[in-house]
Amino acid sequence: MTPRDQTTGVTAFDAVRWRNPPPMVSALALPSGPKLVKIDPLDCRPRSWEAEIDPAPDHLLMWRRGARSAVEVAIGDHRRVADARRRWNGFMIPAGMPSSWAGRAMEPSLALHIHIPVGWLQRLVEEGGSPGRTPSFRPLIGLKDRRVQMVLDGILDAWHNDDPPLTALLEHWVLLLGCALMQGPSPQRVYSLDASAIARVRAYLADNLHRDIGLADLAMVVEMPVRSFVAAFQRATGETPQAALTRMRLERATTLIAAASLPPEDVALLSGFRDARHLRKILGKSRPPALGLTR
C-alpha cells in the first residue's frame, strides 16, 4: 500500500504543481499556489520547493504538461535532469506522441509534475515487477514504447476526468507507468521479406520505372513500415531499394539504347530519368557511357 498523507490525501509518489488550480483539484485539497508539494515515502511529511525541479535525489521520472500542448519527460536524478534541461530544454516525446493528444487544448495556467521515487519502484520490483532489475537513469528509456505512450495518454484522460476522483486515476496510471518503465521497451517486431515478397517489389518496380517511385510506395506493396521495409530489403537482397531502383532503370535504359529505336530523350523518360542529360550523368558514374547518348 502506498503511504498517503492524512491531511492532503496526496499519495507518496504524486506531486502536483499548480498556478491556478481548477475547482475539482481544490476540492481534493491539493496544494494551491506556485509551489511543489511532495510527500516523503518514508515519513509521509509534506515538503515544498519553489524550484522547477525537485532537488531530492530519489526521483526517477518527471512528467510535465506545459502550455503548448507539449509533454516534457526527464528521467534521472536531479543532476542529470538539470543537465538535460539545459541541453535540450527537456525531453520531448517525438512524432510517436499519442494521436489522441492532437488538437487537445492545454490550459496555459496548469503544469503537472508526477514524481516516482526510486525506492517505490524498487519495492514494486520486489513485489512482482521484474526481479533483479534496478531503476535505470538512461535518458528516454522506453518513451517510444507503445505501452508507455498509452499510459501517458491515460494520465491525460485522468487529468480531464473527475469521476472517479482525479487522485485515484492518477495513482492507477502512475503505477502502470512505473511498471512499463521498469520492464523496459517491448520487443520490436523484426520484419523479413521472402522470395515472393521480393518478387512483388521487383514486379512493381518493373511496371512503374517511368514514374516517380518512393520508398513508401514500395513498402505498401508488402504492407510494411518504411524503415522496416528498407532494412528487410537490404538484408534479403544485399542492396538498398534505391540502389535496386537505379540499377533496374539503367538496365531498362541500356536495353532501349541497344535497340536504337528511340531518341535519347524518350529513352530517359521511359526509364524514369528526368532527361537525357540526367541519364548520361548516371550512366557515366556506373559504367562506360552508351554510344547512343554520347553523340
Detail the DSSP E strand segments found in 30-112. 36-39, 46-49, 59-65, 71-75, 91-92, 110-111
| The three three-digit cell numbers of residue 135, written as one number | 531503476
Cα 10 to Cα 233: distance, rounded to the nearest angstrom: 53
What sections of the chain are H helices per DSSP?
Answer: 23-27, 78-88, 118-126, 146-159, 166-183, 195-207, 215-221, 226-237, 241-259, 264-271, 276-286, 291-294
Q: Beta-carbon neighbour count of residue 86 at 10 Å? A: 9
> In CATH, which of 1.10.10.10, 1.10.10.60, 3.40.390.10, 3.40.50.300 is domain 195-294?
1.10.10.60
φ, ψ dihedrals at 108, nearest 5° = -65, -15
Mapping DSSP onto H, E and C, the string for 160-191 reads CCCCCCHHHHHHHHHHHHHHHHHHCCCCCCCC
Q: Hey, what amino acid is at 118?
A: V
The pLDDT of residue 162 is: 47
**Predicted confidence (pLDDT) at residue 4 exceeds the cutoff of 80:** no
| Range of lowest pLDDT (210-219, 254-263, 286-295) | 286-295
For the chain, domain boundaries: 17-183, 195-294
Q: Which residues contact 109 (CB under 8 A, 6 or more apart)?
A: 19, 20
Cα 289 to Cα 105: distance, rounded to the nearest angstrom: 60
How confident is the model over 218-261, as pLDDT tens digits?
A: 988 888 888 889 999 999 999 999 999 888 888 888 888 888 77
Cα 11 to Cα 41: distance, rounded to the nearest angstrom: 9
Q: Which residues contact 216 (CB under 8 A, 6 or more apart)?
A: 226
The pLDDT of residue 220 is: 86
In whole numbers, what is the pLDDT of the chain averaged over residues? 53
How confident is the model over 88-127, as pLDDT tens digits?
A: 333 222 222 233 333 333 332 222 333 444 343 344 334 4
